[in-house]
Each structure stands twice: as C-alpha cells, then as structure tokens.
Amino acid sequence: MSAVIVAIGTELTRGELVNGNARWLSERLTEMGFTVDAHVTVPDDAERIRGTLLRLGQESKVIVCTGGLGPTSDDLTTQAVADALGVELVRDAESLARIEARYRTRNRAMPPLNMKQADFPAGAQILPNDVGTAPGFAVTIGGARAFFMPGVPREMQFLFDTHVVPQISALAERKSHQVHIRTYGLYESIVAERIRDLDRGGALHDERITIGYRVTFPEVEVKIFAEAGDADASRELAERVADQARERLRDVAYGGKDDTYPRYVAGLMKRAGIKVALAESCTGGLVTKLLTDLAGSSEYVVGGAVSYANSAKTKLLGVSETLLREHGAVSEPVARAMAEGIREALDVDLAVGITGIAGPTGGSPQKPVGTVCFSLARRKGASLTATEVFPGERETVRMFAAYYALRMFATAITETLDASKSARVATTSG
Amino acid sequence: MSAVIVAIGTELTRGELVNGNARWLSERLTEMGFTVDAHVTVPDDAERIRGTLLRLGQESKVIVCTGGLGPTSDDLTTQAVADALGVELVRDAESLARIEARYRTRNRAMPPLNMKQADFPAGAQILPNDVGTAPGFAVTIGGARAFFMPGVPREMQFLFDTHVVPQISALAERKSHQVHIRTYGLYESIVAERIRDLDRGGALHDERITIGYRVTFPEVEVKIFAEAGDADASRELAERVADQARERLRDVAYGGKDDTYPRYVAGLMKRAGIKVALAESCTGGLVTKLLTDLAGSSEYVVGGAVSYANSAKTKLLGVSETLLREHGAVSEPVARAMAEGIREALDVDLAVGITGIAGPTGGSPQKPVGTVCFSLARRKGASLTATEVFPGERETVRMFAAYYALRMFATAITETLDASKSARVATTSG
C-alpha cells in the first residue's frame, strides 16, 4: 500500500524552514509497511492546494497533509479542501468549545481569529487536538482518504499517532524489516567500504537488501533494509546481514536505533558505578553538556571546570604557570595536569582533560588549528595522554574532540569491566 | 517567474534523510526573485521520475532537480531523463577523463561503476563538477529548462552557484524585499500579537506585506516580506514596517538575519571590554558552551565551573555545606555563593551562577521541576538574584535557563554601557 505526503506553507517553498515533518512521517509510514510514493510541498495558495489534492486523490489511496490550519489569513488549507470537495465550511461547536477552554486554562480570552480553527469541510471527520488549538480532520478525495494536520511538529505527531495510525494501519501490510546499527569512530565512506559487498549493489548481488547510511556528525548510522517476501523472512534476513555488518564494524558499532554515543558512554558509567569529572578548555563545556543532557546524569557526573583562559587553568585546576610556560597551554603535560587537577579536586574515579586549538585562529606550524591534547586521569594507575589533529571548522573540531573524550572514558571503563569480569571468572573456575 | 524543485531518492521517501537541499535551493531561488511553486520528492523509481518530469515540464519554466546521479544501480535519474526525452544515453569522453583524473589524484583507480557518471541524455548540456565525481546536466523538457545535480549538498551547491545561477538569473526579476528581526524573550504568539495589525491579515489590510515567524527555540525570528511593485518600493515598504515592528518589540528585538542571541551577548561583552565566568549546575556547561561556540570567545570568557554535585559546589566554588543544608542546593543564596565564588576565583568582572531542577525527577511541591535560581555577581555592587519556574522537558528547561543567564549578562552590561555613555555626555556637556 502506498501513501503520499503533502506539506502546505509558503515558509517551506521560500526556504525559511526545512520540511522535517515529511521526514518524520516517511519514517513512520515506512515502519508501518507503507511505500511513500512522493512528498509534495506547495505554498499557501488556495488554487494550488486544491489542484494538488485533486490530482493526488486520483493517484493515491492515503494522503497525509500538514500545515495551513492556523488562525491567520494565510492559512488556507481548510477552505481549499472544501473547494476541492465542492462543499461548504461548517463550524463545529464542540471544537470551538475545546479551543475556548484551552485559552481559559491559560487565563486568556480566545482571540476572535481562532474561531476559524473550528471550521471544517461539511462531512469531515474531526481529529481532536489535545496538545494545541488546531484540530485535524479527514475527508475522502477521489479514491484517497486524506488526513489534514497542523504543521507544528509536536501537534502533528500527536494527531498522527492518535488518530491517523489507527485508521490506516490495517491498510499496510508490513513486509519489510529494517535494522539500525549506530557507529562512532569512522567516516561514512570507510564504514560503507567495510560492508559494501553485503548491499544489493555489492558482490553478493542480493537484491532484497538495501543498506543506507545516516550521518549525525560525528556518528554514522547504518540501516539494513530487507524485503524478502513476508515480514518474518525479512526480519530474519535483515538480522542475519546485520550480524555480519556488526562483526565487520565491531570496533565502532555500539548500539541500535535510538541510541546515541553519549548515552552509551553514560550507560557504561552507570553500570560500572563510577563518578567522573571534566576539565575542558577548547571544548568549553561541551562534553559536560553532552553528558548532563541525559536525565539522571547526577549519578555519574560530579562536575567539571571550563578553564578557557590560562589563568583559569591555574586557579581552578592548579596547573602551574611553569608548566604552561614550558609546554604551552596546548600540550599533553598541561592536559594531564588539568585531568589530574580536577580528579583530585572532586575526588572522582575518572577525569578527562582537554586542551586544544578549535580555531579559526590560534594555530602555528607546530600546532595547527585542530590540534587537541587529551588526558585521562584515574584513581589508580598512571594517566594516559593523547594528541589528535582534527580537520574542519571550529564547530567540527569541538565536536570531534568532545567525542574523543567520551571514547577515552568508554575505553577505560570497558577495560575495567572486562578485567573485573575475567577476575570473577577466574575466581569461579579457580 | 516561477520554479519547481525536484528531489529524487528513496532515502528521502523512506524518511532516512531530511530534504535540506530543497530548503537551500528555495532560499536561493527566492532571493533571486523566483517564486517556488512546489517541491516534489520521488523515490528512485524510473517510471515515477519520468512521469513527474513530463508533468512538471508542462507546468513550469525552470525545474531544479537533485539526486540520483551516483554510480550505483539505484541511481536512475539520467536514464529516466533520457526516457522522458526519447533519446539515448551518450558517453562523454571529457567527463570520463575528469572522473578518472579525480581518482588518480587520490592514488586510486576509478571503480568501473563510476563510468556511468559520464553518460548523459543525447543533446544535454554538461555541467562540470569540480568538487565531486558526478557532473550535472541540463535539458529542455516540455516548456521547462531542467537542471540535474547530485544530491550531496556541497556538490549541489557548487553546481547551482557555478552553472545554474548564471543561466537562470536573467529570468528572475527581483521585486520583493524581506527584513529579518531576531527576538528573544517572548513566546511566538505574544510577538505576533504585538505586530499583527501590520500584517496583511491585520487591521491595516495592507496586502503587500506578509509577516512570517520562525522559532529557533527559545528565539523567535520575525520576517517582514514586502511585494510592492518593484525592488525599491518593496525595500522601502519592508524597512518602514520593520521599523514599526522593532519599536513594538524594542524590549526583545536584538538583531537581524544572521544574528543569534549568544552572539549578540558576546558582542556586548567584547564592546564593554569585560571578562566573564560561569558557575553552572543544572545547565551542566551549556551556557559556557554557547558562549565558546563563537570564534574569539577567549577575549571575554575566562572559564567556569560545572558544579553538578553538591560536593563540586563546595570544592570548586567554596559554597559552604551549612548554606547548602539550610537553603538546599536549589536556592538563591546558593546561586549567589556560586556566582560570587567563581567571580572571585577567576577575578572576572561579571559571573552568573545557575542552580535548578531540570527534571524529569527531583521536583517537590515547593520547588517543582523547572525551578531555577540565578545570581549575577559583579566586581562592584551587590549581587542580583532571581528565581524562575520554566515549563517543559529537561532540554527545554536547560535552554530556557541558559538564555536567562545570557540575558542577565546582557542587562548588566547594557546598563553599564548606558551609564558610561551618560557619564561621557555629562562630561562633554559640563
């Protein structure tokens, strides 16, 4: 079963906004088993909306449409649908009462403009909106069932999941299966090269498999999509190919669909029951921010210092002025002193120190822009240090460096966990 | 003159990728004076590509198309265009030589698959690609000039600017003008309410004006779009309306198109020649990250402490355990002690301390999730404190709090700058 996605809004055709709704809906519909035949975006232009809907009503069975349901004069979707169907607009008392109630709970009177959001093409099925003022609606245009939702992503997603999915899921026959593998540590082209022969264009020529890639810098997600007759066969095939891919990518694959590398590393910290701290210079708080984005991060993040200026390295972390003078702020000895300084100050198990040149200025022939020095300080054992030169602009260098720091934590924790596992095995067998 | 944008790729219709190319091209075409009538996205399906191009060739004068020019078996655009035109594919020796040369400079042999990228519909104008392997091409379909470019954003942008713009710019007559006003501090609906009468749907009923909004949370951008006959009249009208809008929004408007609030605040810090520091708890480094995202931030950011755990508040910032016990970590006295602690430690002019409950857990009836206490410490004068309760999820609360901290800096600096200006004026006139 196929579907088309329509977006209405001059802000889209003028390029003021990227159409994230089309991506979200496409992913949902694909997961449900639909084939999405097209995305069509048109401006707030009644004639163009009407013409597009009438054409798609001849070609499709399901139309999912977003945008143009707001209260202002340039929101024309509802009127255009009524025109396409040759029916009048009818005001729905219940919807009007709900919109008024929404304003009342915020101690505001409903602006008269919003009354328009209670108007629907005669005969439409109304889709109540619990998270915003604009209700959605559904009508039949030609041979298609067409669903209209506001363009605000949160409201659109609510209406789709609550009202649209139950009505259309019976139409979709799920025959395909997709497995996601999240990786961090290699460029997309190198990830692709390692598993290219598994893809349908590759040496095995298995036309049932499509491998896709999605880069969320600096992470690369691999998607193994299988279409092998029915859902069970597809799942089995996708999982089998995914196992091979994970084996080829075992040094960089860390999780599945909804994972992120910071969350994975946070999971390791929790599992190991350790506390960490950061001493950040060029990353300016980015690593600590990534780790504390996660709910419950106080379990493992104690804190950190952002020692952007040299004086801050000295005052907050006790890095000696002699060390700074002798080696320069961007050096492994200074990274080590930063990591050890914060580890001791906050009495944590592991701490990472980061100092580098994010750019665009500040580089030299010896230490070009992108040079970043790292150190990992541990409660027991010597500190580790490393230096990398990352390519790209300031933002890219900072993100590369932040992920590198996360990996230093991950490697240290994994080794500890593995060691304690071996120790337990040894004890048990001994 | 109008144009349509076509994107080809199953990765788009399956929702694996957001169509950023359509946004970029729309913005460019709009700036050039084109009206973009539609975006159409179709999967890698030869019949569907062919049908879409033939239909649009009847409706449009300019078609800009991205994707499907790669070397693999699912890249079908070139063949589909040849089919639509009823012509053969012809291999272009010069393009082939360029592709081979590209591989040679990287010390690699050209994979046989890539030969395909030197094939074009007979009679096509070839658009050489200096930044990738896939050349673009242009043909006439029906009444439209149609341009085909690879989907890789960098290559597409190069080909568009180098080859497409010179060919189509004469077709566009720039008649409209748009002014952007960036604001921070009010919800979109309240911003809109203040200036609604200036919009074409508003009390003045000026149909030449369209006001649009774009939310980049927590900022709201206002766009005043004017179409008043010719470019000069449009500019004058847009600027006049924008002046009125800025006056109504003077407490929250801070800049234009490419500004961001953190950059604005950083500019104030630079202008005032002051140094700042942060003591962050619930924001976990976010404020410092936002300020150090900017090149040259070492001029005004000295550093900061992320005191996530209470122990970090005590050890890094000297917040007394008694104070923490008596008032709780989320309290104005603790925020003040944090701000004053970091200000003194790093000897800066201004410092902000932030402590709160970002959620989702940790709230109480007295201090619900979203409660954040702030303090601004100054070299001279008493510290200021404030408490806010922000709505929303963890990420939202953190971003609200970070911006609030930026505004505390902005307010303090603006007052200082204004005071010194008045002082100078007084001196001059006295």
Q: Look at residue B41 in the predicted model and tell me its pLDDT.
A: 98
pLDDT band at A112 (very low <50, low <70, confident <90, very high): confident
> What percent of chain B lies above the pLDDT cut of 70?
98
- Chain B interface, best mutation among A2, A6, A12, A13, by max B CB count within 10 A: A13
3-state secondary structure of A16: coil
Residues in Cβ contact with B58 at an 8 Å cutoff, skipping those fewer than 6 apart: B142, B143
pLDDT at A428 over 60: no
Q: Does B108 touch chain A (CB under 8 A)?
A: no
- Find, in chain A, the residue whose alpha carbon is nearest to that of B398: A293
Structure tokens belonging to residue A283: 């990353």
3-state secondary structure of B196: helix
pTM of the model: 0.81
Q: Check if the beta carbon of residue A310 is closer than 8 Å to that of residue A329.
A: yes
Q: Look at residue A430 in the predicted model and tell me its pLDDT.
A: 40
Residue B154 to residue B161: CA distance in whole angstroms: 11
Q: Check if the beta carbon of residue A40 is closer than 8 Å to that of residue B12.
A: no
Q: Look at residue A322 in the predicted model and tell me its pLDDT.
A: 96
Q: Does B72 touch chain A (CB under 8 A)?
A: yes
The pLDDT tens digits of the residues spanning B236-248 come to 999 999 999 999 9
Mean pLDDT within B30-48: 94
Q: Which residues does chain A have within 8 Å of residue B212's beta carbon, measured at their own beta carbons?
A: 10-11, 16
| Burial class (CB within 10 angstroms; exposed 0-12, middle 13-18, buried 19+) of A391 | exposed
Q: Check if the beta carbon of residue B238 is closer than 8 Å to that of residue B226.
A: yes
pLDDT band at B54 (very low <50, low <70, confident <90, very high): very high
| Burial class (CB within 10 angstroms; exposed 0-12, middle 13-18, buried 19+) of B59 | middle
Q: Look at residue B425 in the predicted model and tell me its pLDDT.
A: 61
Residue B109 to residue A129: CA distance in whole angstroms: 58
Q: Which residue has the higher pLDDT, B430 or A55?
A: A55
Residue A308 to residue A126: CA distance in whole angstroms: 56
Average pLDDT, chain B: 92
User: Cis ω on the peptide bond leading into residue A360 (within 30° of 0)?
Assistant: yes
- DSSP E strand stretches across A142-218: 144-149, 176-184, 209-216
- Find, in chain B, the residue whose alpha carbon is nearest to that of A293: B395
Q: How many CB atoms lie within 10 A of CB B173?
A: 11
Closest to A10 measured CA to CA, from A44, A41, A40: A44
Angle among Cα A43, A45, A46 to the nearest 5 degrees reads 135
DSSP string, B88-138: -EEE-HHHHHHHHHHHHHTT-PPPGGGGGGGEEETTPEEE--SSSS--EEE
Contact B26 A12 (CB under 8 A): yes
Rounded CA Rg of chain B:
28
Q: Look at residue A425 in the predicted model and tell me its pLDDT.
A: 61
pLDDT at A242 over 60: yes
pLDDT at B176 over 50: yes
Tell me the torsion sign for CA atoms A410, A415, A420, A425.
positive
Tell me the torsion sign for CA atoms A67, A71, A72, A73.
positive
Q: Look at residue B63 in the predicted model and tell me its pLDDT.
A: 98
Mean pLDDT within B344-358: 97
Residues in Cβ contact with B246 at an 8 Å cutoff, skipping those fewer than 6 apart: B181, B253
In degrees to the nearest 10, what's the CA dihedral of B183, B189, B191, B197?
Answer: 150
Query: Among all chains, which residue has been given the structure tokens 């580790």?
Result: A384
Residue B103 to residue B119: CA distance in whole angstroms: 18
Q: Does A225 touch chain B (CB under 8 A)?
A: yes
Q: Which residues does chain A have within 8 Å of residue B295's beta carbon, measured at their own beta carbons?
A: 359-361, 394
Continuous H helices in A8-85: 10-13, 20-32, 46-59, 77-85
Q: Which residues does chain B have within 8 Å of residue A303's beta carbon, measured at their own beta carbons?
A: 305-309, 311-313, 316
Helix (H) or strand (E) run with residue A271 in it: helix A261-272
Query: Among all chains, which residue has been given the structure tokens 């801050």?
Result: A312
Of A15, A24, A288, the CB nearest to B30: A15
Q: Look at residue B426 in the predicted model and tell me its pLDDT.
A: 59
pLDDT at B338 over 90: yes
Contact B345 A223 (CB under 8 A): no
Residue A309 to residue A332: CA distance in whole angstroms: 17
- Find, in chain A, the residue whose alpha carbon is nearest to that of B357: A295
Contact B19 A15 (CB under 8 A): no
- Find, in chain A, the residue whose alpha carbon is nearest to that of B305: A305
β-pairing, B276-280 with B350-356? parallel
- DSSP E strand stretches across B256-296: 276-280
Q: Does A111 touch chain B (CB under 8 A)?
A: yes
pLDDT at A205 over 80: no
Q: Enumerate long-range contacts of A213-220, CB under 8 Å, 24 or more apart.
A: A213/A188, A214/B16, A214/B17, A215/A188, A216/A260, A217/A396, A217/A399, A218/A184, A218/A399, A218/A400, A218/A403, A219/A182, A219/A183, A219/A184, A219/A260, A219/A261, A220/A183, A220/A184, A220/A186, A220/A187, A220/A188, A220/A191
Structure tokens belonging to residue B63: 């078609």
B-contacting residues in A 133-192 (Cβ below 8 Å):
none
Residue B365 to residue B350: CA distance in whole angstroms: 33
Closest to B87 measured CA to CA, from B128, B141, B43, B51: B141
Contact A22 B26 (CB under 8 A): no
Query: Among all chains, which residue has been given the structure tokens 């009177």?
Result: A109
Q: Which residues does chain A have within 8 Å of residue B42's beta carbon, measured at their own beta carbons?
A: 37-38
Q: Which residues does chain B have within 8 Å of residue A283's beta carbon, measured at their own beta carbons?
A: 289, 292
Q: Which residue has the higher pLDDT, A428 or A412?
A: A412
Q: Which residues does chain B have within 8 Å of residue A40's beta carbon, measured at their own beta carbons?
A: 38-41
pLDDT at A204 over 80: no
Q: Look at residue B160 in the predicted model and tell me its pLDDT.
A: 98
The pLDDT tens digits of the residues spanning B372-416 come to 999 999 999 999 999 999 988 899 999 999 999 999 999 999 988
pLDDT at B225 over 80: yes
pLDDT at A135 over 60: yes
- Give me the count of residues in chain A: 430
Q: Which of A304-318, B120-134, B211-225, B294-308 has the lowest mean pLDDT?
A: B211-225
pLDDT at A72 over 70: yes
Q: Look at residue A426 in the predicted model and tell me its pLDDT.
A: 59
The pLDDT tens digits of the residues spanning B134-166 come to 899 999 999 999 999 999 898 999 999 999 999
> What percent of chain B lies above the pLDDT cut of 90?
74
Of A285, A316, A394, the CB nearest to B289: A285
The pLDDT tens digits of the residues spanning A139-156 come to 999 999 999 999 989 899
Helix axes A188-195, A231-248, angle to 10 degrees: 110
Q: Look at residue A315 in the predicted model and tell me its pLDDT.
A: 93
Q: Check if the beta carbon of residue A15 is closer than 8 Å to that of residue A43.
A: no
In degrees to the nearest 10, what's the CA dihedral of A392, A394, A399, A400?
Answer: 40
- Chain B interface, best mutation among A288, A319, A343, by max B CB count within 10 A: A288
- Count of CB pairs separated by less than 8 Å, A with B: 274
Residue A321 to residue A333: CA distance in whole angstroms: 12
Q: How many CB atoms lie within 10 A of CB B328?
A: 16
User: What residues form DSSP beta bridges with B378?
Assistant: B350
pLDDT band at B173 (very low <50, low <70, confident <90, very high): confident
Contact B200 A30 (CB under 8 A): no
Mean pLDDT within A55-71: 94
Q: Check if the beta carbon of residue A16 is closer than 8 Å to that of residue B27.
A: yes
Query: Among all chains, which residue has been given the structure tokens 């004058």?
Result: B236
pLDDT at B75 over 90: no
Q: Enumerate long-range contacts of B131-137, CB under 8 Å, 24 or more apart.
A: B131/B155, B131/B158, B132/B158, B133/B71, B133/B99, B133/B102, B133/B103, B134/B69, B134/B70, B134/B71, B135/B69, B135/B95, B135/B98, B136/B69, B136/B163, B137/B78, B137/B81
Mean pLDDT within B325-330: 96
Q: Look at residue B137 in the predicted model and tell me its pLDDT.
A: 98
Closest to A324 measured CA to CA, from B100, A314, A315, A316: A314
Mean pLDDT within A282-293: 96
Q: Look at residue B172 in the predicted model and tell me its pLDDT.
A: 82
Helix (H) or strand (E) run with residue B25 in it: helix B20-32
pLDDT band at B200 (very low <50, low <70, confident <90, very high): confident
Closest to B118 measured CA to CA, from B148, B86, B89: B89
Residues in Cβ contact with B209 at an 8 Å cutoff, skipping those fewer than 6 apart: B198, B199, B200, B224, B225, B226, B237, B238, B241
Q: Check if the beta carbon of residue B385 is closer than 8 Å to that of residue B353.
A: no
> What percent of chain A lies above the pLDDT cut of 90?
74
Helix (H) or strand (E) run with residue A286 in it: helix A286-292
The pLDDT tens digits of the residues spanning A362-418 come to 999 999 999 999 999 999 999 999 999 998 889 999 999 999 999 999 999 998 888
Residue B177 to residue B257: CA distance in whole angstroms: 13
Q: Look at residue B201 in the predicted model and tell me its pLDDT.
A: 67
pLDDT band at A334 (very low <50, low <70, confident <90, very high): very high
Q: Look at residue B154 in the predicted model and tell me its pLDDT.
A: 87
Contact B41 A38 (CB under 8 A): yes
Of B26, B308, B347, the CB nearest to A15: B26
Residue B69 to residue B67: CA distance in whole angstroms: 6
Mean pLDDT within B84-113: 89
